[in-house]
Amino acid sequence: MQEAHKPTFTEGEFYQVHFNSRVYIDSFYSNPDGHPDENDVPFSLWSLSKTFSSGKHSGQRLIDIGTGPSIHSLISASEHYEDILVSDYTDSNRQEIKKWLNDEEGCFDWLPVIQYVCNLGGERTPSQVAQQLRQRVKQVLKCDVRLENPFHPVTVEPADCIVTSLCLEAACKDLETYCCSLRNIASLLRPGGLLVMVGVLGETYYVVGGQRFSCLDLSQATVEGILKELGFSVTEFNVQFAPNRENDTVSDYSAVFHLMAVKSFKKVCIC
């Protein structure tokens, strides 16, 4: 019997040609509930709000890895870091971010999502949050997590905090690439700095505008194990299971996760 052909993993080069940035944010972030088949956005927004509203985590520089066309991962953090760098591999995603940062006509309306975060706590209004975030994003860079320096040829100062949301599992074709990409990201974080990740478990694909994109199937044990090998102390790992997996038309994820991890002061080399 002939072996079934395994689809090619859709890495960054595929995104550059086929990823529709506006359809993505229209589909998944038009309201704070997210896509009706998944409803995972509130978990992400709540987890990120809880991370940063405590006041325990703040500093000068924050780097967001694989921002995509979305600012949702920066809303809560923006009050606590003066200098924010956002990044993505895909040109159209960076262009979409720049349109919002410049408040250009036709840019995506993030106010409903920002309002949701404001309702979770704090005294800032949505307009104040938007204004502050626009002021604090100092750079929008091309990023390839597969490179030893993801921002090559640009060199950046180490960050106090790195946030990455729904990026690595979509960018990495196998566990070796995932491990090395995490190592590459870790090199951008100062010793003692905070890594905040939002991702999915048990997912092999997701769909944007009818186009299917690959995803690396991960487990909690795998993610935690790799981080520990890289010298991180995982301080929190929260999981929300998919409420409607059998009827989900846009992905096959089993759970969404949020974690916090602190980088060791010891030098660690793997991969």
Encoded tokens for 243: 């409420």
Q: Is 29 annotated as a binding residue?
A: yes
C-alpha 95 chain-centroid distance:
17
Q: DSSP letters along 239-257, please?
A: EEE-SSGGG-SSB---EEE
What is the H or E stretch that residue 262 is in?
strand 255-263
Identify whether the C-beta of residue 229 lies closer than 8 Å to the C-beta of residue 203.
no
Q: Is 24 annotated as a binding residue?
A: yes
Type of residue found at 83: D
Identify whether the C-beta of residue 112 lies closer than 8 Å to the C-beta of residue 31.
yes
Q: Is 145 annotated as a binding residue?
A: yes
Q: 139-157: buried (b, 16+ CB within 10 Å) or exposed (e) per residue?
A: ebebbbbbeeebbeeeeee
Q: Is 93 annotated as a binding residue?
A: yes
Type of residue found at 258: H
Q: Which residues are annotated as a binding site?
A: 24, 29, 88, 93, 144-145
Q: Which residues are annotated as a binding site for S-adenosyl-L-methionine?
A: 24, 29, 88, 93, 144-145
